Chains A and B, each alone.
Chain A
Amino acid sequence: MTADAATRAGDASGPVLTATRRTSQMRIVLGLARAEAPLLFRSVLVLAGMLAGGVLVWNLTRSAEPLWWNTAWQIGEGQAILASTVLIAAQLAAGRARRDGLGELYDSFPVSAATRTAAHLTSLIGAAAVSVLFIGGAAAWVQIRGGVGTPSAGVLVGGVLLVVAAGAAGIALGARLPHPLAGVLAAVVVFALFLESYRFPGAIPWLFPWTISGQFGALYAPLTNYPPGGAHALELAGIAIGIAAIAIALTSDRAPHRLWLAVAGVLSVALVATGVAAQLRPIPTTELNRLFRAEARPSVVQHCTTASDVRYCLYPGFASQLSALEKPVNNVISRLPARPAHALTVAQAMLVSPGDSLLTHGHGRQQLARWNAEANAAPANAPAASTIYLIVGIWPAGAALADARLAVALGAAEWAVNLPPSAIGFASSGASCVPDDQAREAIAIWLAITATHVHTALQLRVGPHGTLGGPTSEVGHKMIFNWTYPGEFQGYISSGPQLTANGYLLAAKMAALPAAKVARVLDSAWPTWLNWRTTDAQLARALGIRAPDITVPAPPKKPRPGVTFVEPTGPIPVTPICAS
């Protein structure tokens, strides 16, 4: 007598039989899952996905200082690749029997297809373990590099749920479509959804399985409900439960399962709806007010300290940057014969755009205009001769720190020799002057090089006929070669004037001289050297060296065969000389 028949007949042994059957089924599910989970764990596909995801996370986090509210999402981006490969591996596992033509043999077993599907779903523990390992490795890497803040548990759990949901989708697919291509196509769809998610306006990107982090890295701290890690994890949990229920429904024809499937379906819909509603909710106005106020008036939230008469203002949580800033600045100051009248300030600045609809969706135009005005009024958008701004999210970690230190030293040296700054930020036109043939430029570069002991390379290249090539500026009626210092394009600090190749070459010659000799010459006529009319040649003569003079060769009057000269359609921008 079967358990169902016993129950129907009112036999007292019915419930016992049903319970026994349920226990044995559970045992079978666990036994099968114990066999499948290790297969999934050491699947070449899954391990390759973990490797590829790791490469992506490394690539995303290797340059800038890791901020946990941004990096946690970037770890999730790596998990999106892992999820794609888990989907393929799970589909291959679930479709194995039918693909090998063993469907009839399996049907003859006392275990139903639904039980086998449940076992496959349970075996996703193997994939989840890989995902947890991935998170552990990535978190260790981030912490070693000095991660700022603390990771959000919701975001990290969301990454694991993404992998599990993808695995469940693979099993549901494999139950119906055993061909390996089905899994590959589904994985491509999942990956394409992830890649294109950021293109949609408002809060829609949150509805995708995972989205590419937008301005998270530009924030000085996470906001309430932004990034909405917990709500997204809830949505993914609902999707995982829903797909798992569909996978069992596709393979089950037993009435008792339907009740459980209905419960799972309702639970899935409830979780997804709750998660989606929470993610679509606009960020509270008070939170955004706080954010843009911190951008426009950083002093409200920043902690300032003073060392060697230099003021350092950093957002809370960024105190670890202080030592990396103090050393190059102090080294520059120690080499100065006299300090400028106005004190130096090194301050962090935030450049967050209210135009990002992921951040400001659901708010009115007037409110947006107000925030825009606040963002444009940020101090980093206005040139300040005595302040070096460091942009949140751009400061590097690891090997690139040397370049950042050089940039800070150069910023301090430019302040010391009165070179005017150039504006950065949204309101900036990007215009900067050129200290062409000015002794103070070479002195500033010499100060920075000797303060950081960085062996910089002149980023000029030799052209086909032995001529120099590279970036140039038009100053007055002549073209001059620029000097691009290492890390200049990364924008570690607010930019100064456009430095020239001649200035760098003279500074390099100065660095080759005994430091005491250079210091003596600078001490002897410091105010003269700071005058913008004092030339490179005068400084070189005082030091007993030859001033370099490389100029851009005039273009040929006639084009070579096969080359056409195109006349410029508008006026060519002429860079002003720094004359203050």
Chain B
Amino acid sequence: MIARHVVRTTPWVTLIAGCLTGTALLAAAAYAAATQHWALNQDAVRLAFLPVIAALAFVPRDPFRPMAQTAPTSAWLTSAGQILLTLPVVAVTCLAQLRLMDYTIARLSRGTTAHAPAIYPLIAQLAGWCALTLAAAACCDRSRYANLTGAVAGPVSFVIFALARYAPRIDRLFDAPPGTAHAVTAAWYIVAATATALLVAALRDRWQRYARKLRLVSRPR
């Protein structure tokens, strides 16, 4: 019964729209690249992943959470289930986008010994970005601004990601170059692990959003 509820409340349309938009943009760019003899770079994949991140920000949303907390099952099950269901979709989208980039690079470097840059730091970056977005969305969902979950979590994670990549000094930790590929990968997986811990804590949080207000109202004068 819970599984059916989880599947039904997962924002599939939002998620798939985000994934398809990003991939369609990248496919159009890949087509242009193939005809104009240039190759997509990792920045193109990051840009194409932006719609996916924007969609992911709307995933951990359980409008019936206050009621679910009164049920005998764990209240976090719905949000956790939604996240678990969306992860394969995001992973497939990521794979498709990386394949598109790889296709244009392979086409351009045919007959040469040129190699594409390592993609494991990029995968770590995208994983960290996803985890940050989900953590921000889950935290927002447990606050009094739950109605704005996606609208807040998306920009917040985008700003954090942009700061990590472009802010002076910080970029040495989170972007290669100037950082080394191994160090950047490790840094982003640490970010992903920390964000996942925050996400779990937020999902398990039992705070009632309107409790403080109700307490104020019911306080005897």
From A188-196, A252-260, A427-435, the one touching the partner chain is A188-196
Q: Bin the interface of chain B by size.
A: 20 to 34
Residues of chain A in range 179-210 having any CB-CB distance to chain B below 8 Å: 179-182, 184-185, 188-189, 191-192, 195-196, 199-201
B26-48 to A contact mask, C-beta < 8 Å, 1/0: 00010011001010000000011
Q: A48-B155, A200-B36 are in contact. Are A181 and B55 (CB under 8 A)?
A: yes
- Cβ-neighbour of B17 out of A45, A48, A181, A191 (below 8 A): A181
- Pick 26 A–B contacts, CB within 8 A, sort by A: A45-B155, A92-B151, A179-B14, A180-B150, A181-B17, A181-B18, A181-B54, A181-B55, A181-B58, A182-B17, A184-B51, A184-B54, A185-B17, A185-B51, A188-B21, A188-B22, A188-B25, A189-B21, A189-B25, A192-B25, A192-B29, A192-B47, A196-B29, A196-B32, A199-B38, A200-B36
Known: A48-B155, A196-B29. Contact between A188 and B36, CB under 8 A?
Answer: no
Main secondary structure of the interface of A (DSSP, over half): helix
- Given the complex of chains A and B, what is the CA–CA distance between A45 and B152 in angstroms? 10
> Within the assembled complex, what's the spacing in Å between the Cα atoms of A196 and B14?
25
Q: Is the CB of B155 within 8 A of A188?
A: no
Contact with A along B144-167 (1 / 0, CB 8 A): 000000110011000000000000
B154 contacts A184, C-beta separation under 8 Å: yes
Question: Does B50 make an interface contact (CB < 8 A)?
Answer: yes
Closest A residue by C-beta to B22: A188
Check A195/B47 contact, CB under 8 A, given A188-B25, A201-B36: yes
CB distance from B116 to the nearest CB of A (A): 19
Which residues of A69-122 have CB atoms within 8 Å of chain B's CB atoms?
92
Shortest 5 CB-CB contacts between residues of A and residues of B: A184-B54, A185-B21, A180-B151, A181-B14, A188-B51
Query: Which chain A residue has the least Cβ–Cβ distance from B48?
Result: A192
- Given known pairs A181-B18, A185-B18, the reply for A200 and B32 (CB within 8 Å) is yes
A residues whose Cβ falls under 8 Å from a Cβ of B: 45, 48, 92, 179-182, 184-185, 188-189, 191-192, 195-196, 199-201
Task: Please classify the interface of chain B as helix (H, G, I), strand (E, B), loop, or mixed, using the class held by over half of its residues.
Answer: helix
A48 to B21, CA, bound (A): 24
Q: Which residues of A contact B22 (CB under 8 A)?
A: 188
A92 neighbours in B (Cβ, 8 Å): 151
Q: For B58, list chain A residues within 8 Å (CB).
A: 180-181
Q: Which residue of B lies closest to A569 (CB)?
A: B113
- Contacting pair B32 A199 (CB below 8 A): yes
Give the residue of A45, A188, A200 whose beta carbon is less than 8 angstroms from that of B54: A188
Q: State the CA gap A199–B34 with chains docked (Å).
A: 12
A508 CA to B193 CA, complexed, in Å? 51
Docked Cα-Cα span, A457 to B51, in Å, equals 46
Residues on A with C-beta less than 8 A from B36 are: 199-201
Given contacts A181-B17, A196-B29, A200-B36, 6 further A-B contacts (CB under 8 A): A179-B14, A180-B151, A181-B54, A184-B154, A191-B47, A196-B32
Which residues of chain B are within 8 angstroms of A196 by Cβ–Cβ distance?
A: 29, 32
Q: Which residue on chain A has the smallest CB distance to residue B50?
A: A188
Which A residues are CB-close (under 8 A) to B47? 188, 191-192, 195
Chain A residue contacts of B32, Cβ below 8 A: 196, 199-200
Complex contacts, B17 vs chain A, CB 8 Å: 181-182, 185
Q: In the complex, which residues of chain B have a beta carbon less than 8 angstroms from the beta carbon of A182?
A: 17
Q: Which of B18, B51, B58, B154 has the most CB of A within 10 A?
A: B51
- B54 contacts across to A, CB distance below 8 A: 181, 184-185, 188
Q: Given the complex, which residues of B lie within 8 Å of A199, measured CB to CB?
A: 32-33, 36, 38
A180→B57 CA distance, assembly (Å): 11
Q: How far is the CB of B46 from chain A (nearest CB, A)?
A: 11
Question: Could you say which residues of chain B place their CB within 8 Å of the CB of A185?
Answer: 17-18, 21, 51, 54
Report the nearest A residue to B38, measured CB to CB: A199
A92 to B147, CA, bound (A): 13
Nearest A residue to B154 via CB reads: A184
Residue of A nearest to B20 (CB): A185
Q: How far, in whole Å, are A199 and B32 apart by their CA atoms in the complex?
A: 8
Give Cα A509–Cα B14 distance, bound, in whole angstroms. 68
Closest CB in chain A relative to B139 CB, distance in Å: 18
What is the CA–CA distance of A189 and B151 in the complex, to the nearest angstrom?
18
Q: In the complex, A185→B16 CA distance in Å?
A: 12
**What B residues does A184 contact at CB under 8 A?**
51, 54, 154
Q: How far is it, in angstroms, between the C-alpha of A185 and the C-alpha of B47 when the chains are bound? A: 11
Minimum Cβ distance to chain A for residue B120 (Å): 19
Bound CA span A185–B58, Å: 13
Q: A196 vs B48: C-alpha distance in the bound complex, in angstroms?
A: 12
- Which residues between 8 and 23 of chain B lie within 8 Å of chain A, taking CB atoms? 14, 17-18, 21-22
Q: Within 8 Å CB of A201, what residues of B? A: 36
Which residues of B sit under 8 angstroms from A191, Cβ to Cβ? 47
Docked complex Cα distance between A189 and B33 (Å): 17
List of B residues within 8 angstroms of A192 by Cβ: 25, 29, 47-48
Q: Which residue of B lies closest to A48 (CB)?
A: B155
Q: How far, in whole Å, are A47 and B154 apart by their CA atoms in the complex?
A: 17
**Across-interface contacts of B154 in A (CB, < 8 A):** 184
Counting chain B CB atoms within 10 Å of each CB, the highest count among A180, A181, A182, A188 belongs to A181
A residues less than 8 Å from B14 (CB atoms): 179, 181
Closest A residue, CB atoms, query B21: A185
Residues on B with beta carbons closer than 8 Å to the beta carbon of A188: 21-22, 25, 47, 50-51, 54
Residues on B with C-beta less than 8 A from A48 are 155
Nearest chain-B residue to A191 (Cβ)? B47
Smallest distance from the beta carbon of B41 to chain A beta carbons, Å? 12
Across the interface, which residues of A come within 8 angstroms of B50, CB to CB? 188
